[in-house]
Amino acid sequence: MSKPKVAFFDFTSCEGCQLNKLNFENDLLDMLKLVDIVEFREAMDNRADEYDIAFIEGSISSPTCVERIHDIRRRTKILVALGQCAVSGGINAMKNDQPSEWVRETVYGEDKYLFPSLPAMPVSAVVKVDYEIRGCPMSPPEYLHVLKSLLLGRKPELKDYAVCVECKLKENECVLDKGMFCLGPVTRAGCEAICPSFGQYCTGCRGPVSDLNKDGAVNMLKAHGFSEAEAIKRMKMFNTNDLEKTISWGAK
Amino acid sequence: MSRDLSIDVHHITRVEGHGNIVVDMKNGELRKAQLDIVEPPRFFEAMMKGRSFHEAAIITSRICGICSLGHQMTSLKATEAALGLELSEQTIKLRKLLVHGSTFQSNVLHALFLATPDFLNVGSVFPLVETHKEVVLAALRLKRLANEMGEIISGRAVHPISCVPGGFTQIPTEDKLKYLKEQLETQGLKDVAFVAEVLKSLAGEIPVFKRETEYISVYSDEEYGLYDGQICSSDSGLYPVEDYLSVTNEFVVAHSSSKHARFNRSSYMVGALARFNNSHKLLKPEARDLAASLGLVAPNFNPYMITVAQVVEVLHCVLDSIDLLDDLLTTGLKQEKPNQQPTKYGRGIATTEVPRGILFHDYTYNRQGIIEAANCIIPTGQNLANIDDDMKKLVPEILDQGKDTITKKLEMLVRAYDPCISCSVHMLDVEFVE
């Protein structure tokens, strides 16, 4: 049996998720025995016509992105959104909340119309996404789990409970109790609560749990001394598209 | 070869981000030789507005996965300058270790995985797993070690966690630092020596090309300029970091969603070769000797030698990391909390050398500690005009070598700069127009 053809593509992003994949120094060579990497522009020259699995990093944020993602979808059997930019728009979507005219002017001044730009959208806003690997950056063990499951022909199991659960299992002191801000109670697990384990708060980089109670989350943060405006602003850092229904296509 | 030449490399490979190389020559007249940057704009400067000082570094590290540590360092330093936050010696040493780790990780990745395949005439590092397994394994081990430095000190190599304004949320244990030191001293130094030998054997494959330009880097009297210092121009000397706008002079060009920069000439170079040219006397002696043995002597005007300078820096970073770890372990680690009590508000400007060159962050905070204005000037953006100028000199010089060779040499040229296009738009493809 020939090895499955795997390809990686990057859209609007920092390419940190792809880089994280090159950072599996210990597993990289084993992985190469199981799959044929047929396209991976950041690391190789080859290009291919068809893929069994295409991993997509980054948001859709320009007309060219829309065309490219359609082309890739047409040629791949399975499409996986890799990392939060691809899954939800991620941090790129922060600009969706601001008037697009102002955003362009702030960065490019009078040359604001030289580079066509759309609101930052998840891949799933444009084409069908089969599986998601969340996080900014994606968590390497979760990526390996999804890849292995797909190679075995199984459906990957992805968590849909809060980071708090993993944090408690790690026996970390509660971040909120320490007086810090934290989005652990409403953010999807799968990261092994890595930020609270290193003394930081959860920034919500994996997106909200699917049954998010937004008002409840805001009330909880208010009870810990954060204003409603601050709670919402900080929830939006990685999750503007999840929390905001109207996005800016021009002057607002 | 005819006097007409057209090259169009769409989405050049083995670089970070999207760019096209476009060359158009008609009747022997070079009408176009440039790198088009086609990465979609990211608009970070606009997104920063209204964010608090706790959040600035979390957001800006997402400008680039490869340089996330460098963006984070520069962001933190700009915030600390604006808010008057003093740092402990221990914080600075731990940060310098992080900068070393991220520099040598990135340099190994570029030199061995992205550039070396050209010297061996293959399209990626993957075929080398079969033909040059020992080299690939040595490079992987070095990368792992560098990433481990990031993971142990800051929680994660991509988008570090525990570095915050004023210090660290968590201090690594002495045992883990001892482990890092042992690894660097044994396997680390051995692997660098091996990688350097391999590069030496490939020296004949590095294209010969010379174009003197202006070299700009961070400079410090005390050490090889990486973590902090003044701005140094090889043409006109030292400038305080606050003068960065008069050095970078960014301007928009239609063929690039990343802005270009110029100072004393039509373009300038930043990155490993600029650092080497400006600060070579401050390298560890062993790294200076390695440079000489690899044929790298300052000042060097061949952009293809950037890759060699990167390997020299790997050795320097490994050696200096061992010294820093020694210092920290001798003094003993203190469990200190980050200093986050602002003593003032206003503007803060900072610079760090990230792997691809000098990086600037500039924030203005209001009295609530909220960002009112932000500006980031990225190394790759500063190199773009220089890459275009190199291409304009190189193409006529190699015109008789045939389109395939010309295309390959142009791709290698762009790749030598190790461009980081996501960063620069806060790109790469070759286009020959015939």
Residue ranges and CATH numbers for the domains of chain A are 5-151 (3.40.50.700), 163-241 (no CATH)
Q: Which two tokens stand for residue A60?
A: 């859709």
In chain A, the residue whose alpha carbon lies closest to the alpha carbon of B160 is A195
Q: Do A41 and B13 touch (CB under 8 A)?
A: yes
Using the Cβ of A42 and the Cβ atoms of chain B, whether some distance falls under 8 Å is answered with yes
More confident residue, B3 or A95: A95
Cβ-based burial of A149 (10 A; exposed 0-12, middle 13-18, buried ≥19): middle
Contact residues, chain B, for A200 at CB < 8 Å: 155, 161-162, 164, 169
Q: How far apart, in whole angstroms, are the C-alpha atoms of residue B365 and residue B79? A: 8
Q: What is the dihedral of CA A32, A38, A43, A44, to 10 degrees?
A: 120
Of B143, B169, B257, the CB nearest to A200: B169
Work out the mean pLDDT of chain A and round it to a whole number.
89
The reported pLDDT for the residue numbered B4 is: 84
**pLDDT (tens digit per residue) in A55-65:** 999 999 989 89
Contact residues, chain A, for B156 at CB < 8 Å: 137, 194, 198
Considering only CA atoms, give the Rg of chain A.
19
* Chain A from 172 to 231: CB within 8 A of any B CB: 181, 194-195, 197-200, 203
Q: What is the mean pLDDT of residues A232-244?
A: 91
The reported pLDDT for the residue numbered B16 is: 67
Contact residues, chain A, for B410 at CB < 8 Å: none
The reported pLDDT for the residue numbered B424 is: 52
ipTM confidence score:
0.89
| Helix residue spans in B249-378 (DSSP H) | 272-279, 285-293, 306-331
Q: Do A109 and B252 touch (CB under 8 A)?
A: yes
Q: Do B252 and A114 touch (CB under 8 A)?
A: yes
Closest residue by Cα to residue A47 from A19, A71, A81, A18: A71
More confident residue, A46 or A138: A138
Q: What is the mean pLDDT of residues A3-19?
A: 88
Question: With b meaning 16 or more CB within 10 Å and e meaning fewer, what string describes B371-387?
Answer: beebbbbbbbbbbbbbb
Band (pLDDT 50/70/90 cuts) for residue A252 is low
Min distance A91 CA to chain B CA atoms (Å): 8
- For residue B172, the one-letter residue type is P
Contact residues, chain B, for A198 at CB < 8 Å: 154-156, 161-162, 169-170
Mutate to test the interface with B, among A112, A163, A198, A234 (most CBs of B within 10 A): A198
Of A109, A136, A198, the CB nearest to B169: A198
Q: How far apart, in whole angstroms, are the C-alpha atoms of residue B326 and residue B320? A: 10
Q: Do A114 and B42 touch (CB under 8 A)?
A: no
Q: Do A95 and B46 touch (CB under 8 A)?
A: yes
Instruction: Report the predicted TM-score, pTM, of the whole model to 2 decimal places.
Output: 0.91
SS3 for A78-145, per residue?
Answer: EEEEECHHHHHCHHHHHHHHCCHHHHHHHHHHHHCCCCCCCCCECHHHCCCCCEEECECCECHHHHHH
Residues A185, A168: contact at Cβ < 8 Å?
no
The reported pLDDT for the residue numbered B114 is: 86
Q: Do B65 and A233 touch (CB under 8 A)?
A: no
Number of alpha carbons in the 13 Å side-chain half-sphere of residue B113 = 28
Of A15, A45, A64, the CB nearest to B124: A45
In chain B, the residue whose alpha carbon lies closest to the alpha carbon of A63 is B40
The one-digit pLDDT tens for each residue of chain B (434 residues) are 467 888 888 777 666 667 788 889 888 888 888 888 766 667 787 889 899 999 999 999 998 888 899 999 999 999 999 999 999 999 999 999 999 999 999 999 899 888 888 888 888 888 888 888 899 899 999 999 999 999 999 999 999 999 999 999 999 999 999 999 999 999 999 999 999 999 999 989 999 999 999 999 999 999 999 999 999 999 999 999 999 999 999 888 888 777 889 999 999 999 999 999 999 999 999 999 999 999 999 999 999 999 999 999 999 999 999 999 999 999 999 999 999 999 999 999 999 999 999 999 999 999 999 999 999 898 988 999 999 999 999 999 998 898 889 999 999 999 999 887 655 544 333 344 43
Contact residues, chain A, for B140 at CB < 8 Å: 25-26, 28-29
* Chain A from 138 to 177: CB within 8 A of any B CB: none
The reported pLDDT for the residue numbered B427 is: 31
Q: What is the mean pLDDT of residues A28-55?
A: 84
